[in-house]
Structures are given as structure tokens and as C-alpha cells.
């Protein structure tokens, strides 16, 4: 059985102040009326509609101003989401609008209905995202979301032995180069002596030839 009521407060999914709606009689009797969220639709209560409309306009204006300020502030924020991943960097599960709403509350003390966080699909890959926010029917904004891994990415195990092998070869090459240079340095004086000795022999030979020729003439 349905009954008509006048809403005195904004109820998501049902209506706003001054709206006349039909609801289940039990729902009105057990919830709406005790919580003062609605009043029965009677001729006497119709006089309250104008007052409720003014209340609604004030509430909507306040919400618009609040959401406009929030839209400006939230664009400067970076919401960091820490998630569990495997060693290859792949996420376990996904990031949802509800998780982002929780982090907004935890990190910045911003209470935002998850329905205002617009995700076409849950986030399943590590990275940086710009998430659209539908803060009001006339106010939209974006939030930067950085999804980071809680698991450090380890380097491949094969890289370490390769590095050690290269390090092992390098000192040998340097040592061998130094040894060759030392041998060259030791050989240099001997080469100079041989060269000097050879020049000396050449210098003595012409003199010897002159004496022999002079002896034969005599």
C-alpha cells in the first residue's frame, strides 16, 4: 500500500525538500515520520511547502558554494594509493572509488561520497591517473591519483654474477698493462746502451782504416 508524503529533508534517491512523493505506508510510518524526514500530505501541511522550498534553495546554494571551493582545492592534491603487487609489479585486485574515498578521508580529512568519484573501470595497473569527480550537478573536478606498489621490485639474480665477472677481469687487465709498461721501461736503457755502443764502433772504424792505409804507403 502506498501513501503520499511531503519530504522535509533531501533524501538521495527519493527527493528533496518540498517534493511530494509516494512511498510504502510502512516505510513512511516506521522511518520517515519518526525521523522527521517527511510529513503526511494533508491540506494543513501544504502550507509548509513554501517554507520547505526556501529551505531547499538555501541548502542547494550552500552545497554549490562548498563544492565549488572543494573543486578548486582538490585539483592541487595528489592521493597516493599503496597496493600489494607481485614481484613483476602486477597488482593483486584493483583500486575502486570506495578505496579512493577512504584515502581522501585518511590523507586529507575530506569526506566525499564514493558515488561522486567517477571511475569508468576499476584501476588495475600501477601508475598515475586523473580521476573525474562529480561533486555537484553543476560542479566537476579532477583528482590526481598515484597508485604505488608496496612490494619493492628486485633486480634479476643473474645481474650480480655478471657484474662480479666484469669486476674480476678489470684488475687483471690493469695489472697486465702495468707489467708491460714496466718491461718497456726496463728495456729502454738497454736499447740506449746498444745504440750508443753501435755508434762508438762506427766512430772507431774510419780511424783504424786511416792508420792501415798510411802504413802501406810507407
The span from the CA of 214 to the CA of 22, in Å, is: 150
Backbone angles phi, psi at 31, to 5 degrees: -125, -60
**pLDDT value of position 16:** 94
In a domain, 154, yes or no: no
Mean local confidence (pLDDT), 18-36: 95
Q: pLDDT digits over 45-85, tens only?
A: 988 899 999 999 999 999 999 999 999 999 999 999 999 88
Q: Please name the residues in contact with 75: beta carbons below 8 A apart, sequence gap of 6 or more.
A: 141, 142, 143
In a domain, 19, yes or no: yes
* End-of-domain residue from the set 70, 93, 127: 70
Q: pLDDT digits over 83-121, tens only?
A: 988 877 788 889 999 999 999 999 999 999 999 999 988
Residue 203: pLDDT over 50? no
Number of domains the chain contains: 3
* End-of-domain residue from the set 25, 40, 70: 70
Kindly report the pTM of this predicted structure. Answer: 0.59
Question: Could you tell me which of 153, 173, 155 has the C-alpha nearest to residue 163?
Answer: 155
116's torsion region: left (phi>0), alpha (psi -120 to 50) or beta? alpha
In a domain, 155, yes or no: no
Indicate whether 60 and 85 sit together in one domain.
no
**63, 106, 132, 177, 180 from 69: Cα distances, Å:** 10, 20, 16, 71, 76
Provide the CATH number for the domain around residue 139: 3.10.430.100
Indicate whether 10 and 62 sit together in one domain.
yes
CA dihedral 128, 132, 133, 134 (to 10 degrees): -170
Cα 16 → chain centroid: 40
Indicate whether 113 and 61 sit together in one domain.
no
Give the domain extent around 95: 75-149
In a domain, 121, yes or no: yes
Amino acid at each position: 500500500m502506498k501513501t503520499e508524503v511531503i519530504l522535509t529533508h533531501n533524501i538521495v534517491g527519493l527527493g528533496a525538500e518540498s517534493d511530494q512523493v509516494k512511498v510504502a505506508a510502512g516505510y513512511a510510518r516506521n522511518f520517515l515520520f519518526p525521523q522527521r524526514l517527511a510529513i503526511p500530505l494533508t491540506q494543513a501541511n501544504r502550507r509548509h511547502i513554501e517554507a520547505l522550498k526556501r529551505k531547499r534553495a538555501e541548502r542547494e546554494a550552500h552545497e554549490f558554494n562548498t563544492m565549488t571551493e572543494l573543486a578548486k582545492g582538490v585539483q592541487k592534491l595528489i592521493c597516493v594509493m599503496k597496493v600489494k603487487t607481485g614481484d613483476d609489479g602486477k597488482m593483486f585486485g584493483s583500486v575502486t572509488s570506495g578505496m579512493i574515498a577512504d584515502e581522501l578521508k585518511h590523507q586529507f580529512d575530506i569526506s566525499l561520497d564514493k558515488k561522486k568519484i567517477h571511475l569508468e573501470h576499476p584501476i588495475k595497473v600501477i601508475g598515475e591517473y586523473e580521476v573525474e569527480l562529480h561533486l555537484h550537478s553543476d560542479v566537476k573536478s579532477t583528482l590526481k591519483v598515484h597508485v604505488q606498489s608496496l612490494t619493492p621490485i628486485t633486480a634479476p639474480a643473474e645481474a650480480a654474477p655478471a657484474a662480479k665477472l666484469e669486476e674480476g677481469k678489470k684488475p687483471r687487465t690493469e695489472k697486465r698493462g702495468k707489467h708491460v709498461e714496466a718491461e718497456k721501461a726496463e728495456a729502454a736503457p738497454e736499447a740506449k746502451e746498444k745504440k750508443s755502443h753501435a755508434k762508438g764502433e762506427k766512430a772507431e772504424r774510419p780511424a783504424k782504416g786511416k792508420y792501415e792505409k798510411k802504413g802501406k804507403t810507407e
